[in-house]
């Protein structure tokens, strides 16, 4: 998740702050100091962030307050909460690396640690209070929050409909602002016919009940346009592509939820909400395709956006229900780590659609093969960094190890899941053949070897250039592998394993066998 840098105001350092601007500048300066320590001393970084937070608190309502400065203070403080969330309490979307830090001498650090819904509420407050002053990066950060919420939280249909409405309103405004700015900056570029049209999501009647879905209009009446601040600067071809990429990823994440909940025992999204969201998401996606086709931006790297569109293409194949097409799609992937990781997510979503043995078995095999490709690429990169074949990449060793071990652990869990599928099928058919028993033994051995290797790799130091946050993440992934092995070896149940037992049949049904 990208979090734009601290919004700054020109001025000199203040030794004894008195006014709102003084406290604001002090907060900015403290944040800059914190960033300089972020890679080596996490406690000092948090202590400085905490001081910055307090400076922003003192700036609110301080003498000399103005609306412009009050917006800067409120936005910076809210952005600081988001920074702490994305880098520390929900790194990679779910890892709280602060669990591995002794924070007894920082009892107030929880003031910085808001959950994502609370951070979003802060954004909403700032947006309401300073609606005519909010800059493009404020809204872009809010889009990032919405995307993260959809990707990492369990949401019901009412919440999904609300997020879809809010996201599309902001996204279409930012896209239009970018198009207008790009037209000014690039006279030689043509946006094409219809490229300036703004996507209009379907309007919900005032009687719409989000809990039941009743009242949804199926026509395309235009909703009242939300008022947004004019964006004066900071719009570039890169930010345009980033906005499109985040928007496509949001659609994909929403569609994945609809796919994964379609066969759930208890439907969290009712039929009316599902129909509304599917129709709106498809129209929004067509709009983004039109913008991408008509607005040419040749000077910026579009790889992230291309990957986002490719992921959506794969998801559409999943929804079509054709396993053969999905296998062809995955097999045609170029030798690229990001593409392989995208394929992993697509296949994982597909698994939730099927209940029959043959389909699930094929998908699990495809899932494992794709993870094997990920492992091969990352293993080669790790070796190249260690041997010096890749120059000046020492600080990339730890992140590479984390990704490698994560892939190995996921692959191990998949082997165990395949074990559970095959064992369950044999029990149902009352035909445990010698070939089946041999396959079960191979799958179980594969899983244990993968966990053992992941544990050994994650435990090895990654050199003096390893960043402290990367070291904490490496410790996390080591614990994931180690605790699984401890459970398989002696039945020791940790917090990590207790969560896994609920999710994986193999772990929940496993019996110690010597």
pLDDT digits (tens, 9 = 90+) for 395-424: 999 999 999 999 999 999 999 999 999 998
Structure tokens given for 416: 């165990």
Structure tokens given for 367: 């899932």
What residues does each domain of the chain span?
20-134, 175-320, 321-514
Distance CA 140, CA 138 (A): 5
Distance CA 307, CA 340 (A): 11
Q: Which residues of 464-498 are buried (b: 16+ CB within 10 A; e: fewer)?
A: eebbbbbbbbbbbbbbbbbbbbbbbeeeeeeebbe
Compute the average pLDDT of residues 234-257: 95
Q: DSSP letter at 88?
A: I
pLDDT for the residue numbered 296: 81
Question: Could you tell me which of 414, 316, 409, 325 has the C-alpha nearest to residue 361?
Answer: 414
Distance CA 98, CA 473 (A): 10
Is residue 418 within 8 A of residue 365, CB to CB? The reply is: yes
Is residue 423 within 8 A of residue 442, CB to CB? The reply is: no
Q: What angle do CA 202, 207, 208 make, to 5 degrees?
A: 50
Distance CA 378, CA 426 (A): 36
pLDDT digits (tens, 9 = 90+) for 150-204: 999 999 999 999 999 999 999 999 999 999 988 887 664 444 444 444 444 434 3
What pTM was computed for the model? 0.87
Distance CA 383, CA 179 (A): 44
Sign of CA dihedral 485, 487, 491, 492: positive
208 pLDDT above the threshold of 60: no
144 pLDDT above the threshold of 80: yes
Percent of the chain past pLDDT 70, that is, above it, reads 86
CA-to-CA dists, residue 254 to 220, 269, 281, 346, angstroms = 21, 11, 8, 13
């Amino acid at each position: 998740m990208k979090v734009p840098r601290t919004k700054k105001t020109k001025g000199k350092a203040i030794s004894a702050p008195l006014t709102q601007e003084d406290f604001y500048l002090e907060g900015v300066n403290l944040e800059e100091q914190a960033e300089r320590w972020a890679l080596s001393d996490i406690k000092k970084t948090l202590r400085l962030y905490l001081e910055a937070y307090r400076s922003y608190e003192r700036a609110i309502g301080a003498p000399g307050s103005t609306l412009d400065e009050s917006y800067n203070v409120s936005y910076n403080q809210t952005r600081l909460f988001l920074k702490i969330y994305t880098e520390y309490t929900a790194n990679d979307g779910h890892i709280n690396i602060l669990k591995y830090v002794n924070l007894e001498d920082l009892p107030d650090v929880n003031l910085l640690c808001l959950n994502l819904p609370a951070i979003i509420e802060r954004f909403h407050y700032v947006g309401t209070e300073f609606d005519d002053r909010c800059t493009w990066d404020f809204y872009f950060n809010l889009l990032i929050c919405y995307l993260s919420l959809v990707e990492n939280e369990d949401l019901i249909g009412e919440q999904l409909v609300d997020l879809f409405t809010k996201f599309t309103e902001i996204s279409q405004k930012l896209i239009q602002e970018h198009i207008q700015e790009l037209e000014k900056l690039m006279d030689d570029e043509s946006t094409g016919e219809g490229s300036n049209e703004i996507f209009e999501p379907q309007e919900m009647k005032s009687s719409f009940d989000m809990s039941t879905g009743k009242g949804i209009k199926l026509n395309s009446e235009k909703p009242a346009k939300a008022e947004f601040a004019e964006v004066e600067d900071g719009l570039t071809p890169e930010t345009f592509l980033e906005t499109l990429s985040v928007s496509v990823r949001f659609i994909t994440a929403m569609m994945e939820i609809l796919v994964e909940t379609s066969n759930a025992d208890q439907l969290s999204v009712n039929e009316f909400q599902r129909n509304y969201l599917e129709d709106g998401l498809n129209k929004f996606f067509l709009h983004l395709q039109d913008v991408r086709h008509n607005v040419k931006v040749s000077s910026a790297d579009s790889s992230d956006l291309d990957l986002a569109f490719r992921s959506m293409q794969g998801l559409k194949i999943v929804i079509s229900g054709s396993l053969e097409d999905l296998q062809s799609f995955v097999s045609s992937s170029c030798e690229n780590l990001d593409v392989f990781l995208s394929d992993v997510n697509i296949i994982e979503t597909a698994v939730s659609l099927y209940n029959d043995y043959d389909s699930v078995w094929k998908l699990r095999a495809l899932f494992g093969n794709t993870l094997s490709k990920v492992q091969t690429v990352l293993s080669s990169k790790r070796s190249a960094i260690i041997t010096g074949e890749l120059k000046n990449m020492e600080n990339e060793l730890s992140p590479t190890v984390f990704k490698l071990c994560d892939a190995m652990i996921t692959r191990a869990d998949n082997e165990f899941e395949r074990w559970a599928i095959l064992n369950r099928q044999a029990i149902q058919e009352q035909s445990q053949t010698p070939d089946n028993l041999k396959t079960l033994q191979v799958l179980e051995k594969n899983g244990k070897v993968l966990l053992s290797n992941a544990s050994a790799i994650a435990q090895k130091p990654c050199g003096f250039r390893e960043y402290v946050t990367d070291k904490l993440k490496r410790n996390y992934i080591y614990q994931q592998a180690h605790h699984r092995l401890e459970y398989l070896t002696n039945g020791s149940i940790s917090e990590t394993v207790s969560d896994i037992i609920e999710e994986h049949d193999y772990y929940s049904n496993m019996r110690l066998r010597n």
